[in-house]
Amino acid sequence: MEGRDLLVVGCDAATCDHVRAGVAAAGHRVTVAGDVTAAFRVAAGERFDALLVSHPLDGATTGRFLQAVRDPESPCRNSGLVLVAEERLRRDAEGYLGRGANRVLAAERVEQVLAEVLRPLLRVSSRAALRLPVRLQVLGSGLQRRVVCESVNLSAHGALLRSPHSLAAGTELRFELFLPDAPLPVCGEAVVVRRTAQGSEPYPGIGVQFTGFAWGGEDALTARVAAFRTGRLRPVE
């Protein structure tokens, strides 16, 4: 993966140094916006592949900044976004997952784990609003619980699933995703990364990250998403 452009927002000098050290081997380019006013200006005028945002922000609420970044006119609307918070504020920061933030990272561990946290975000393709039936099997428990749900949107790397069942972040799953006109489902494994936010999202559900595919499954899903996004296929109602 070639070096990517990262924007660091509101972090102190020591954290910025840890960011640079953490991504040096990957060759990522780091731009620092030390205050929120500069961050609004930079993020509004230039696309970055990922943003690392201090939580809480000095001079603006985290929610306000995320709303601006995810605005339809923002060049960073689809960029990966990681909130960097002290361990004592981690739970508060996790409240923004699915509301503009993709991951939360403890400030104390930036240098050690940043490259690994960024890797899936930097390879995530834009998701397609495809509604497809999905069957889940919850792993890691004596009772092999099965859940039937529907995708809201998905890419080859993850999906948002509409489901009345509540599964905690970190739950490991086996999935079957049924593509129209395909003789067999796309099968693989996934992990729950978030629940939908009650009150701010119109349905109960979970966000999952795919961690592995049965042979040929990833290629089939990638082709389906690409066909939809280029207009060669219409969504299934």
pLDDT in tens, the chain (237 residues): 457 889 999 999 999 999 999 999 888 999 998 788 888 888 888 888 899 999 998 877 899 999 888 887 788 887 889 999 999 998 899 888 878 888 999 999 999 999 989 988 887 555 677 889 999 998 876 556 788 999 988 877 788 898 877 788 788 899 999 988 888 999 999 988 777 766 556 678 888 888 889 988 888 888 887 777 555 544 444
Domain 133-229: give its CATH superfamily: predicted glycosyltransferase like domains (2.40.10.220)
Residue 230 tokens read as: 């280029």
CATH 2.40.10.220 maps onto the chain at 133-229
C-alpha to C-alpha distance for 124 and 121, rounded to whole angstroms: 5
Rg of the chain over all Cα atoms, to the nearest angstrom: 18
Contact between 79 and 45 under an 8 Å Cβ cutoff? The reply is no
What's the CATH class of domain 5-123? alpha beta
Longest Cα–Cα distance in the chain:
55
Is the bond preceding residue 235 a cis peptide, omega within 30 degrees? no
Q: Which helix H or strand E contains 229, and what residues bound it? A: helix 217-229
